[in-house]
Amino acid sequence: MNLKRRVKLVRNLSVKVNNSGVYIIKNNFNSKIYIGSSKNIKRRFKEHKTKLIGGYHENEHLQRSWNKHGEINFSFNIVSYCPKEYVIKLEQWFLDNMISWGKDYNMSKISGTPKNHNTEVLKTEGDKIIKYSSITEAIEEEGMTKTQMVNRGNFTFIPSNTLGRNPKAEFVGLYDKNGKFAGHGWLDGDELNLLINTSKSDLRGSEVFNSIFDYINKEWDEIGSIRGTWRPGSLGDNFDSYMKTKNAFETFTGKMAKRKGFDKVTVNELKDGSGNIIGIDAFFK
């Protein structure tokens, strides 16, 4: 059964349930596809497009094709709706039956698998840096073994960050390759809360934010909002940025939230008895 007939069949059988289900991103120029699932497909589409247009999508293969063929040659379609608790299982069925591994854009053969376990490879050519999301991709693209790349001297191998759920607490902690704490995040209902501190880590704040967000959004539950709890002090960068601009989207958290498709915000300013602002609570939706 070809792709068009299979998608049509499933679409005819499906029933829309809370906008959750499986979707396909298709390159209409070469018919390559990417399959994904979400408990909020509309928001996931917006997130994909924001990253692709901005040039920082985590799927390097898909990003390069987007850059080469342009937005006009890509389509975003819902394959099948299903209840939220079944999206991972349904995505697995489509991965098993529709993806041509090594040709299409999906990197993992297991649905719901975190995409941060690969070693990134950077190739330096003068002032130019080429990034591969895994050793396997670098080997395929460069046509040489890892040993040959090491011997060439212009390849850098960056091990993936250690990211995992703390079994004794309801949060995800992120540590760099040296085991230094960089931040953690947790859900309160569907509201994402974050504490990021990269002062002793070699990770950037954006890396920590994206890793925690993507892991929780995929592995635990769909994120409905992002909360910023900003207070003055040693971790008061967001608070200081807000006080300078009075614009929540000019803060680090605001910029990152907007990139993820959360482009509305409610701000509560906490004041003391004299009317001085002593804290900010921001809610991005």
Q: In angstroms, rounded to a whole number, what is the distance separating the alpha carbons of residues 95 and 98?
A: 6
* Structure tokens belonging to residue 284: 């991005």
Burial 137-169 (b: 16+ CB within 10 A, else e): bbbeebeeebeebeeeeebeeeebbebeeeeee
Q: 3-state class of 253 per DSSP?
A: helix
The predicted model gives 72-94 an average pLDDT of 89
Q: Which residue would you say has higher pLDDT here, 146 or 21?
A: 21
For residue 105, the tally of other CB atoms under 10 A from its CB is 21
The predicted model gives 33-38 an average pLDDT of 92
**What local confidence, expressed as pLDDT, does residue 38 receive?**
87
Please report where in the chains the tokens 């049509």 appear, as a residue: 8
Share of the chain above pLDDT 90, in %: 23
**What local confidence, expressed as pLDDT, does residue 211 receive?**
84
* Structure tokens belonging to residue 117: 């376990």
As a dihedral over the C-alpha atoms of residue 100, residue 104, residue 107, residue 111, rounded to 10 degrees, the angle is: -60
List every span in the chain annotated with CATH 3.40.630.
Answer: 162-284
Average pLDDT value over all residues in the chain: 79
Most confident of 135-139, 151-155, 215-219, 222-226: 222-226
Q: In angstroms, rounded to a whole number, what is the distance separating the alpha carbons of residues 205 and 201?
A: 10
As a dihedral over the C-alpha atoms of residue 153, residue 154, residue 155, residue 157, rounded to 10 degrees, the angle is: 70
Residue 153 has pLDDT above 90, yes or no: no
Evaluate whether 146 touches 118 at the Cβ level (below 8 Å): no
Q: Grade residue 164 by pLDDT with cuts at 50, 70 and 90.
A: very low
Q: 3.40.1440.10, 1.10.3720.10, 3.40.50.2020, 1.20.1250.20: which CATH number matches 3-98?
A: 3.40.1440.10
Share of the chain above pLDDT 70, in %: 80
Query: 105-109: long-range contacts at Cβ-Cβ below 8 A with a sequence spacing of 24 or more?
Result: 105/25, 105/27, 105/32, 105/33, 105/34, 105/59, 105/61, 105/62, 105/65, 106/34, 106/35, 107/59, 107/61, 107/133, 107/134
Q: 2.40.50, 2.60.40, 3.40.630, 3.30.1540: which CATH number matches 162-284?
A: 3.40.630
The predicted model gives 121-128 an average pLDDT of 71
Most confident of 9-23, 40-54, 173-187, 240-254: 240-254
* Structure tokens belonging to residue 205: 């704040």
Q: In what side-by-side order are the strands of the sheet with 181-188?
A: 162-165, 172-175, 181-188, 191-196, 225-230, 277-284, 265-271
List every span in the chain annotated with CATH 3.40.1440.10.
Answer: 3-98
Q: In angstroms, rounded to a whole number, what is the distance separating the alpha carbons of residues 23 and 44?
A: 10
Q: In angstroms, rounded to a whole number, what is the distance separating the alpha carbons of residues 214 and 130?
A: 23
Length of the chain counted residue by residue: 285
Residue 116 has pLDDT above 50, yes or no: no
Nearby residues of 92 by Cβ (< 8 Å), 6 or more positions away: 110, 111, 112
CA angle, 169 then 172 then 173, to 5° = 105
Q: In angstroms, rounded to a whole number, what is the distance separating the alpha carbons of residues 170 and 164?
A: 11
The predicted model gives 31-48 an average pLDDT of 89
